[in-house]
Amino acid sequence: MQDLSHALLNGLNEEQRLAVETTEGYVRVVAGAGSGKTRVLTTRYVYIAKMLGVAPSHILSVTFTNKAAKEMKKRIQCYMPDEDGGWILTFHGACNKILKEEIHRLHYPSNFLIMDEDDQKSLLRKIYEENGLTLKDHNYKSCLDAIGAYKGKNGYVPYFSDPTGQTAAPGLSRADEKGTFDFIIKKYLELQRKNYFLDFDDLVFFTLEIFYQFDDAREKWQRQFEYIQVDEFQDVSKPEYTLVEMLSLLNKNLFVVGDPDQTIYTWRGADIRLFLDFDKAFGGVKTVVLGKNYRSTPEILSVGNSLISHNTARIKKELVAVRKNGLKTVYYHARTRQEECEFIAGEIQRLKEVGIALGDIAVLYRSNYMSRPVEEAFLKYGIPYTIFSGVEFYQRKEIKDTIAYLRMFEFKDDLSFERIVNVPARGIGKKRMAAITALAVNENISMYEAFKKLADTALFENTGAKKLLKTIEEGLIRAQNPSVDISDLLDFALKKSGYEEYLMLCGDQNRLDNVNELKAAIKDFVDDAGEHVTLAEYLSAVALISNIDAKDKDESVKLMTVHTAKGLEFPYVFVCALNEGLFPSIKIENKQQMEEERRVAYVAFTRAKDRLYLSDSDGFDLQTRGRLMPSRFIFNIDESLIEKSGVMSDEYVEMAKAYIRASEYNLSHPAVPDFRTYLGGDRVRHPVFGDGTVTSKANGSYVVKFDNGNIRTISEGSGVLKPI
């Protein structure tokens, strides 16, 4: 045991070792960028299992991405080869696993189908088509935002769990008014309940509802998890926080790791105060600060430290580099955006000439649209590049189509049926689909059941209906075999449905390659599991995969947003378009949002290992509709820490600083906001324009059609709109 303890703890610094050995009670670890938090989490897991003798099944370790969970399992298996890391999961993965055992309490089947965002949009598309709505009423994103907000504020789960179907969905007072958000939300919930769909929000809320309603279920899982670890705690939402708080109440062993300086997901529900106030929420909290950085040079860290010191909502710390001295951070000011991007391209060419691999270089920007001028410069210079977070692997059409066949064999759900019914083309167009939909609605049956009844009728003569029906029925039989091989089932679906032949006829080799990659992914999944995997288990796992990185191309520069880059690192990093209105974004409305924007910049800077390049440009910008000014984040950095190049007059610098001072004043003295949130269809009164109706909301503004015929865009926080 002593030898194992030495092997585990050898090489850890003093703070890391303290975090690992502090196993009991509530522990908060403030882990700066590159400070070895994954090593701490992994080592602590093994330490608890091996040194304390706690069964791994009693250790819940929550990560924020599937990639992080997989990496942690891999490291643990170096010490515990037989350990499968069954409870090293994302929040959604853990809730899914709990619900498989407990959801029957809510009168829901354990083989519920998990929807991803594309499935949600398909559900909305169906609602729009059936009710004569268009994207002019509301775009899908605003609907999904409204659905997420609704589920976060209303105790809606009893609507799903009522076996009599008598419980009404709460908080939808305008559900009978077609075109309102309430109407769309009600239809969305109805389709969910009918098909036993759960979206990602539901996984957490259903789990919480079970714990609230059933003491024995809550106590069972509290006993199960004697030790709980949560990674990236600065990014947890209030419901996720409530979940781990509830699970830890019995054993009181909750270990959270994070960095409030990297909280950049408040728009997804993250609340920085949950981490900052963790010591106030629980008694006797021990706090450990990991301040040694093993990633970056002192020059890079000094720039990051200088920038983030301007924030007030943080736990004060200074990252200290373990590495020796490196090269100063470069700041380049260009006359135009084109010149800025050509500087980046030219510098990358120079790096390549001195032996730096292109795969070691990343260009980061605040928003996806900012990649265009960078791409143009790279094309001009012949620099190969890869854009990350374009279309993710599991969101590509051919992958969604292929998995829809597998889902059909397992769930027979409407979404999968609609996706496969005419792909490849089988002559089942709008008229025939309308007949299927009408029968399904009239008889309250699934679209597949309606299709079975209609496939032999005259309406479906000279179509591929009978062949498709035969494929589905044979697939259903195969899927019911407990020992079914998922790879074989996939091959059956591709060949029998004609989908593989369809891709060949399309002549798109990339799409065929992607389908073959899916086959390889299934094999990897089964091999990693180390045991037989059912189709339902595989489909649940796929649904929970939120992001699959594109295959890394070593000889290409990586282009991505800062949010995509979080958690990654690169030897050479270029952060471009550092201009007021771009980075920080023009959408920033208050001091708290500006502090988050500064955290986004801090995350960008701390991705760099060997050298950091910052750049901006002068000129006129169509996004901000004004002259481009250097970002305040450049001025936040101590001048002595950066190597400046490019021409910037004293007059221009003073003008930029005056602009920033005025902006800072406005952020600290905002107009009195209107705290009421208006939904599409709400009636409002304006002091000048009179009475009107809210038609939509986007980018922090309401579009209002007034009774006098005028249509105006009114800022959300202006406070001028009043309810009628």
Between strands 642-645 and 711-715, the pairing is unpaired
Neighbouring CB atoms inside 10 A of 96's CB total 23
d(CA 687, CA 719): 11
Token pair for residue 258? 């994070």
DSSP 582-610: TTTBTT--SHHHHHHHHHHHHHHHTTEEE
Q: What share of the chain is helix, strand, coil (3-state, %, to 5)?
A: 50, 15, 35
d(CA 48, CA 534): 31
DSSP 478-496: HHTSTT--HHHHHHHHHHH
d(CA 297, CA 625): 38
Burial 190-225 (b: 16+ CB within 10 A, else e): ebbbebbbbbbbbbbbbbbbbbeeeeebbeebbebb
Identity of the amino acid at 388: F
C-alpha distances in Å from residue 31, one per residue of 21, 234, 276, 283, 681? 16, 10, 13, 21, 46
Q: Can you give the C-alpha Rg of the chain in angstroms?
A: 28
Cis omega before residue 109 (within 30°)? no
Between strands 329-334 and 642-645, the pairing is parallel
Angle among Cα 174, 697, 396 to the nearest 5 degrees reads 100
Which are the catalytic amino acids?
Answer: 37-38, 231-232, 262, 607
d(CA 527, CA 524): 5
The residue count of the chain comes to 724
Token pair for residue 233? 């705690």
d(CA 297, CA 291): 14
Q: Collapse the DSSP code of 419 into the 3-class scheme (helix H, G, I; strand E, B; otherwise coil) and give the result.
A: helix
DSSP 631-684: -HHHHTS-GGGEEEES---HHHHHHHHHHHHHHHHHHHSPPPP--PPP-TT-EE
Q: At what angle do helices 499-506 and 397-411 cross, to 10 degrees?
A: 170
Q: Report the first-to-last Cα separation within the chain, whole angstroms.
A: 72
